[in-house]
Chains A and B, each alone.
Chain A
Amino acid sequence: GAVVSQHPSRVICKSGTSVKIECRSLDFQATTMFWYRQFPKQSLMLMATSNEGSKATYEQGVEKDKFLINHASLTLSTLTVTSAHPEDSSFYICSAPRTGQLDTEAFFGQGTRLTVV
C-alpha cells in the first residue's frame, strides 16, 4: 500500500517554543491531507484539511494562528504548533488520500507524540 511518513515520531519542547511536524506522501501525490489530534483515551479529532497551494481549512474550535499548516508541494504538508503550551501535548496524526481518489482510502502517518514541558 501507499506510504505516508510523519516526522518526528516524538518531540519534547519547552513551553513557548514552536514545533514543526512534517507529513509526506512517499509514493503518491496528495493535494489534500488531513491533520488529526488524539488526547489520551479519546478519539482522533480532525483539526484541519491541508490543501496544496491554498489555505488550510480548520475545524471549529481549532486556532489557525496556533496551528499553522503549509502544503507547499504535492507530497508534503507541515503542521507548526506555535508558542506551544503544556495543553498542546497530544498525539498528532496526518492522513492523505491519493489525488483524485478522495473517497477511497486515506493512508495514515505513524503519528507524532508532542510533549510540551
Chain B
Amino acid sequence: AQSVSQHNHHVILSEAASLELGCNYSYGGTVNLFWYVQYPGQHLQLLLKYFSGDPLVKGIKGFEAEFIKSKFSFNLRKPSVQWSDTAEYFCAVSPPGGGNKLTFGTGTQLKVEL
C-alpha cells in the first residue's frame, strides 16, 4: 500500500523567506506525484504535478518541486514566500493510470507573517 509522509505539520515564515516542505512516499513502483494547496475557505487546488521527464517541475505561483527517486521524495519549494501563500499544503501520490485515486499526506499548515 502507498503512504505519504509530510514532516512539517506547521510552518511559520516571514515574508520573503524561502520555503521547503518535505514529502516522502512509500510505494514499490512508479508513481504520479502531486502537490495541492487549500487556501482558507477555498477548494483544494493543484499546485503542480510530476508524471515523468524532468524531475524538477514548476507549478503555479512560483512554486516548484523536485522528484528524487533514490530518496522517494518530492519536496516543495518557493524562493520567496508571500503573505498570500498562507494555506494548507498537501502532498499526494497515485499509481500511473490510477485515475487520480490519490493517497494524501497529512498536510502542512503554512503561515506567512508580514
Seen from chain A, the residues whose Cβ lies within 8 Å of a Cβ on chain B are 1, 4, 32, 34, 36, 41-46, 49, 93, 95, 97, 102-111
Between A and B, 18 residue pairs with Cβ closer than 8 Å are: A4-B43, A34-B101, A36-B104, A43-B4, A43-B104, A43-B105, A43-B106, A44-B104, A46-B101, A95-B44, A95-B102, A102-B97, A102-B99, A103-B99, A105-B46, A105-B49, A107-B43, A109-B43
Total A-B residue contacts, Cβ distance less than 8 Å: 59
If over half of A's interface residues share one DSSP class (helix, strand or loop), that class is named, otherwise mixed; here it is strand
Point out residues on B near A: beta carbons under 8 Å. 4, 32, 36, 42-46, 49, 51, 90, 94, 96-107
In the complex, how many angstroms separate the beta carbon of A62 from the nearest chain B beta carbon? 14
Q: How far, in whole Å, are A106 and B101 apart by their CA atoms in the complex?
A: 9
